[in-house]
Amino acid sequence: MSSVVGLYAGIGGFELGFDALGHRPLVLADKDEHCRLVLGKRFAKARIEADVADLKEIPASARIVTAGFPCQNLSMAGDKSGISGSKSGDIRHLFELLRLGGRPTLAIENVYFMLHLGRGAAMKSLVHDLEALGYAWAYRVVNTTSFGIPQRRRRVFLVASTTLDPREVLFADEAGATPKPVANIDRPVGFYWTEGRRGMGLALDGIPPLKVASGLGIPSTPAVLFPDGEVLTPSVEACEALQGFPRGWTDLNFNTKRSPRWSMVGNAVSVPAARWLAGRLDVPGEMLTLRTRPLSAEAAWPDAAYGNSTGHFVVEASERPSNVIAPSIETFRDATWKPLSARALRGYLGRAREGGLRFPDGFLDAIEKALARQNPNLPD
């Protein structure tokens, strides 16, 4: 159908979603050498580049440019240095390429926290640069649970174009507010075992967002308390599936002491969300009758908005454009999942008791029983 250029491509989440609908990756660029190995293996016909800064131009045949640009300076887990940070600031190279000529449609993704860090300075910067190039734009916070994946992952998706109306891409689908079921231990409960004092990250019959604990790529996988009392952490293969990739997508010989797979998968764009976006770029719909209001220059950036020649507007859209029912996290459980260690269980219980947060009935008791079964008097 059309050619796509993938900038900051990671392991190809955007590109796999677009490829499923016939949008062939033409050029893929990422600084991470391990990501490039995955891209070269999985998209063998694409030209793989080491750095967006090295590109001389965007090929004229590229109708769409995807850009899941680095989030390290924009996320809650990062250094919060913002859009000018050493990693997230790399997005400037996209605009340098656009200033050279050509106006492909853009599909951009990043973390939800970018809307709040520095009162949304990152979004303000993106919008300023897009409008200077003549782009109309729209963005929407989207939750991957909307696409049948039991991972509660909220991300900002932004579409900018000079040839189509971005509102007809992002606001043509609406499934309503995210249900808030009462968590109970009769169903699996996902949580961040590294927290407990100030936050929980509880997810009923799913997991909270996959994330990377540090720039070293140390895994910080969630844990799941299952109804049978087991407290398990997913394998990297299960996490690939929870991002919409085939299991084994990143299973290559990287010849490193610490596997880079965890960080690559944790940083990836969710494939089902990318596929939805590709579908709407192919066949835009009519913008639904959603409530809108002018966005003042002093206001905080909302969860959904658009901008064109008539001004900037808030859109009261939910984070669920689709209503595909996610399967139980039980369907992702297999022999590759590992029990959370006694040390980790003890640490979590200690923090939970100190913090005073309210947990689902029986949750901490079940964690204590899991710890007792592991015989905590023995070293891990």
Catalytic residues: 71
Run of H or E residues at 356: none
Residues in the chain: 380
Q: How far is residue 154's CA from residue 76's CA, in Å, rounded to a whole number? A: 13
Instruction: Give me 85's structure tokens.
Output: 């940070």
Per-residue DSSP letters for 240-265? HHHTTPPTTTT------SS-SHHHHH
Question: Which residues, including other chains, have CB under 8 Å from residue 175's CB and lie 6 or more apart?
Answer: 146, 318, 320, 321, 322, 323
CA-CA-CA-CA torsion for 282, 321, 313, 305, nearest 10 degrees? Answer: -80
Q: How far is residue 336's CA from residue 130's CA, in Å, rounded to a whole number? A: 45
Instruction: Give me 59's structure tokens.
Output: 């090929």
Q: How far is residue 215's CA from residue 54's CA, in Å, rounded to a whole number? A: 23
Instruction: Give me 316's structure tokens.
Output: 């009261």
* Under 8 Å between Cβ of 242 and 207: yes
Sign of CA dihedral 140, 244, 259, 190: positive
Q: How far is residue 203's CA from residue 145's CA, in Å, rounded to a whole number? A: 11
* Angle of CA points 191, 83, 200, to nearest 5°: 10
Comparing CA positions, the residue from 243, 310, 249 lying closest to residue 272 is 243
* Position 363, amino acid: F
